[in-house]
Amino acid sequence: MDQSVRSRAISGALRLGVHPFMHRVPGHAPSIRTARSAVDAASLLLRAGSRARVVPLADPRVESPGDRPVRGEWVVTRDAPEAPAAGTSPAGAILYLHGGGYVVCSPRTHRSITSRLAVETGLPVLVPRYRLAPEHPFPAALEDAVAAYRWLLDRGVPASGIVVAGDSAGGHLAATLAGEICRTGLPSPAGIVLFSPWVDLTCELSTREQRRARDPYISAYAARRVARLVVGPGGFDDPRLALLTCAWTDTPPVLIQVGGAEVLRPEAEALADALTAAGADCELQVWKGQMHVFQILNRVLPEASAAMRDAARFIGSVTAPAPKKSEVAA
């Protein structure tokens, strides 16, 4: 698909008005808190859409003293008879981990994506409010993601019906969660969906790409400054951070979508190569001319809407029940 006129106009406006600011964002806690306040204020304008609704979730896990509490929200279709938080056990669910560099954003900021996923797939979408850096450096976010996955399993949602998804830093977190699930022996999810994943927190690949890419939004240099806050005193040595050297054994099917114009494209391509080399079923989609997490604009960009339909198709294919023997024989 060629880049639409609307996409070119939005990319041009962002390149002129937003990218210079993003490139100069300082990597220290006060600037992060200022950015967080601005994003949270802007998120008040975002709604789930007329075909979806939001149900808050706050579970202290009192019956499991060793487990972390799970807080966040469910996003479900408007006509869903009952919210999963009310005690039902859906046959499937999407666990969505929002982006924001591990330092900003929330479930509210990504409702244009999560509501679209709920409507397109018919599955409830659980969006945990994981802890953010620099107050809570890695692995705090991973611990919260594992707690949310365990929460779904404890509530009777089968692993074969769960898809783990995320964008940007949430894409890194989703992939890291998949590795942690394998390492700890938890049942594997049905699939993984990554939108513009921030694969390499050292930003080596994206920094090289910065010299020639015309990313209208993300700055690899600013991302590297933020990454130092994310990893905290432990630095980049934690093997759970290194997605490109992960073993990726017994990995479920993976869909990766990345914009052709973004500096994180080489990282997504490298991850797809690593997954394929390990024998995983990985589908990589590079969307021509698109920016970082363009899917969030699915209400205005035709490319974003098409990408969300493709993501829903993938989710439906991996969560569909296996055909019965009689059906196969027929």
List the catalytic residue out of 106, 168, 196, 219: 168
- All residues at 6 or more sequence positions from 210 whose CB lies less than 8 Å from its CB, including other chains: 219, 220, 221, 263
| Sequential DSSP letters for 114-173 | HHHHHHHH---EEEE----TTTS-TTHHHHHHHHHHHHHHHTT--GGGEEEEEETHHHHH
The active-site residue, picked from 73, 120, 209, 262, is 262
Q: Which amino acid is at 310?
A: D
Is 28 known to be catalytic? no
Question: How far is 114 from 326, CA to CA, in rounded Å?
Answer: 36
Task: Respond yes or no: is residue 82 known to be catalytic.
Answer: no
Marked catalytic residue, from 19, 110, 172, 292: 292
Contact status, residue 103 vs residue 32, Cβ threshold 8 Å: yes
User: DSSP 3-state helix, strand, coil percentages of the chain (rounded to 5)?
Assistant: 45, 15, 40
Which residues lie closer than 8 Å to 203 by C-beta, 6 or more apart?
220, 221, 223, 224, 227
Tell me whether residue 262 is one of the annotated catalytic residues. yes
Indicate which residues carry an active-site annotation. Answer: 168, 262, 292
